[in-house]
A and B are shown apart, each in its own frame.
Chain A
């Protein structure tokens, strides 16, 4: 399977704490994307990092990418109960065209009050 791996599979933290999720992939990429999925819903695009970028920020989100190790991490700072969801990384192998994403196995994040 070409599917990426994410760890941890599940993470439970308290509100205000930081949450870190890791993603490893197998093939070369053009970019890597992170998505959030609330239970029973579609996916929401969070952030995209290109292969020539090492770090990217968006609000409380920080994403890193290490192409030499084929890995990425997503950090959510000062977590809130509303951040409770599943988070998926997805790798995009191609440049510019509509290409197939390969999704990781996902991390289920639970943020408690």
Chain B
């Protein structure tokens, strides 16, 4: 089945530095990738939608200059947290839709990245 590989799984960085999270679709082409943020024991909140070859669409309240999204190829989407602060510490997850014949077959998620900013 479809697999999305997300790296790194865990990262600790110092305040003020930037962190890049990668999501690769291994056996399919992901023209769209969704990026979520999840706080402990809470649900997923959509941050942005990346589309291959075009600018990402950000949800209301998400700072596009802070959370840079790049979707340069059909198999790679990246999220860069710039000038990270402790409040950016969270679990970040990417997801790509599974579509066949125009019908939705559920979404494939990466394994998540636990970001801790110290």
Interface residues of A (CB under 8 A from B): 3, 30-31, 33, 35, 40-45, 48, 88, 90, 92, 95-101, 103-106, 108
Q: What band does the interface of chain B fall in when counting residues whose beta carbon is under 8 Å from A?
A: 20 to 34
Inter-chain pairs besides A101-B46, A103-B43, 16 sampled, C-beta below 8 Å = A30-B104, A33-B106, A33-B107, A41-B112, A43-B44, A43-B95, A43-B109, A44-B109, A48-B104, A48-B106, A96-B104, A98-B31, A98-B32, A100-B34, A105-B42, A106-B43
Which of B's residues lie within 8 Å of A, judged by CB? 4, 6, 31-32, 34, 41-44, 46, 49, 91, 93, 95, 97-99, 102-112, 114
CB pairs A–B below 8 angstroms (15 shown) = A30-B104, A33-B106, A40-B114, A41-B111, A41-B112, A42-B6, A45-B98, A45-B109, A96-B99, A97-B99, A98-B99, A99-B97, A100-B34, A101-B34, A108-B41
Q: Is the interface of B mostly helix, strand, loop or mixed?
A: strand
Q: How far is the CB of A6 from chain B (nearest CB, A)?
A: 9
B51–chain A nearest beta-carbon distance, Å = 9
Q: How far is the CA of A44 from the CA of B3 in the complex (A)?
A: 11
- Chain A residues near B31 (CB-CB < 8 A): 98
B93 in complex: contacting residue of A3, A31, A43, CB < 8 Å:
A43
Name the A residues within 8 Å of B44 (CB-CB).
43, 88, 103
Tell me whether B43 and A88 are in contact (CB under 8 A): yes
Q: CA A63 – CA B38 in complex, angstroms?
A: 25
Contact: A105 with B43, CB < 8 Å? yes
CA distance A95 to B97 in the complex (A): 12
A35–B95 CA distance with the chains assembled, in angstroms: 12
Report chain A residues within 8 Å CB of B97. Answer: 98-99
Q: Could you say which residues of chain B place their CB within 8 Å of the CB of A33?
A: 106-107
B93 touches A92 (CB 8 A): no
Residue of A at shortest CB range from B106? A45
